Structure 1
Amino acid sequence: MTLPPRNPDEILRARGADSRPAARFEPYRTEREHDGWDIPEEQSLLRTEISQERARSIISRNSSPDVPFDRSVNPYRGCEHGCIYCFARPSHAYLGLSPGLDFETKITAKPNAPELLAAEIGRRSYRVAVLAFGTNTDPYQPIESKLGIMRGCLQVLHDWNHPVALVTRGATVMRDADLLGAMAAKGQAAVGISITTLDADLARQMEPRAPAPATRLRMIRCLADAGVPVRVMVAPVIPVLTGHEIERILQAARDAGALAASMIPLRLPHEVAPLFRDWLERHHPGKAAHVMSQVQAMRGGRDNDPRFGNRMRGEGHEAELMHQRFRLARRRLGLESRLEALDCSRFGAPPRAGDQLSLF
């Protein structure tokens, strides 16, 4: 896949992608052509656009053998953090938008998510199980600090005694430490914090609008102090660029209060592969070939291996060495492979005014 050239009329500030490759389902591609006039075009800063959607349902179901949950909620589409390696970028193709700059600049919020969530878990046919957040895009987008959609969803789950597991790298999660702490006290909440690197400069290049590594360690400490069990997710591990940091990340996360740890080697599905290759050539041209050769060594000679059972682990000598280092460091630091199972036994409708009180 050949990426289109960067639009010279746009000023990009803290963006991961550099262009808008067409979504894979689109029948047409656009190309820039000079209009023949020598009058320079006016440049403008590319800003994030937030649109709102009145969703009709909010709980998504899956049967993937690679993930430990069968249901999830995504209060947002797209992600302003702009992580160049994000496996969720191709999901913007379903909206007719580019997985490149559109993914990180055209964000859709679902303000009615809390009321939909209450309605769906309140159905008689609903059977409780852990509900996951952050499975596609981060539930703590920068705009969440103003919209409070995630806070509303957590309040619903708190009131219904519904267990929740969320994954984030958004600092606004610290705002909700009170709710998460109250749920964790009943065994009903756990949080995964993703840390890719401890190098602030590299993080700024790869994850331009995500919190800095030091802030993510502070997030772990804040949640741990509130009694929330935290798992550090060393993900993705990028050969050559971040692979040497596995032990340091685990040590720093353990010292901050993390109880468990997991790891996923770099995945490059669909449009992510050419976007990541382009980013490498722009930021690390001297290492680009070495990085991709290591990635392909773990992915059967390809940029990506989508097979269930392999896509989250990789295969071959390089992948096994990476996992072995991770397992040894996790064991040495006393980190668990997974957190304790969350409690589903207390689930039930919250009391309403006028309800008869229980005798027990």
Structure 2
Amino acid sequence: MKLIFASDSFKGSLSSKRTAELLTRAARKVFGVCECIGVPIADGGEGTVDVLIDALNGERAIATVHDPLMNRIQVSYGIAGGRAVIEMAAASGLTLVPEALRDPLNTTTYGTGELILDALDHGCRELYIAIGGSATNDGGMGCLHALGARFLDKDGNELSGCGKDLAEVSTIDLAHLDSRLSDTSVTVLCDVKNPLCGENGATYTFAKQKGANPETLELLENGMQNYRDVIKHRFGIDCDLIEGAGAAGGLGAALNVFLHATMQSGIETVLGLIGFNDLLDGADLVVTGEGRADSQSVCGKVMQGVALCAKARGIPVYGLCGSLGNGAELLYDCGVTLLYSLVDENTSVVEAMTNAEEVYYHAAVRMFSKIKRDKA
């Protein structure tokens, strides 16, 4: 019997790798001798670097870069065989900015550009950049500024590339963009489809959570529209027609337009990199899960991606989750056979979080026991 375990992390309690270890222990208790393959997995968000380092036998690189407020910090990213996996949130994430200082007029993605430079210095020519969790709304100007691009105002003065500079951009000069980027492939891991501007664009969808008040929102949107128009005039590309251009405060647009990046689903990219389809060969069942399954689980998350792959191969999928919320049943359409929850009439959320390993292990034993009975 071959079992594949591929769960997302349970935020604040269990890592993806630890869920696989506990599932292996539970499966062998119930089924006896069986082949158990644990697949640490992420969907392009938090933990993606760790997962791919583990899956690809990579290593962690350390770089000194600037955070969203231009303070120097040390962050890490993953390298594996000429590939680099970067989480932009490591350098330009919202959690790096104290709540009292959050203002997307002043934040920049400069540090993300520095991470890209460091990866190039390490010889990487295949970059995967996860762009969730940003503190920024600078259109990606900061990132490109670090890479050698120049954003100039109407008087020819160079702009630093933070949110308030969007309205001042008049000319974009790529003459000094790092030449190594011309033979570097860039893949953006992004699961939002927002355009750059408008009601569903970067500013009005995301900037409020980054500290923007109503007045700031208007300033940023007007600036972003100016930035969009300059790009359209200079490069003939309308960023409002690019799905995901508005991700990470417009970083999606900059990477797509200036670095010719491909925009891909995070979970699909991760599954491809780790060779998940090959791992499914001969599998009898798959177990996946996450901390809370709900309607968001079918919007490019781990459970959906894993279930769709297994469904295509006719392999049953079981979901063991921390809790089940509204819309969790949508996962059945993706190929999940049954959903199980750690939280029930006997176990509260607090208990499940406090005693996560014990509660998870015993729930796994109950799940496998039911599967065994059903197959008898």
Under a length normalisation based on structure 1, what TM-score does the superposition of the two structures give?
Answer: 0.32
Q: Which has the higher helix share?
A: 2
Q: Which has the higher strand share?
A: 2
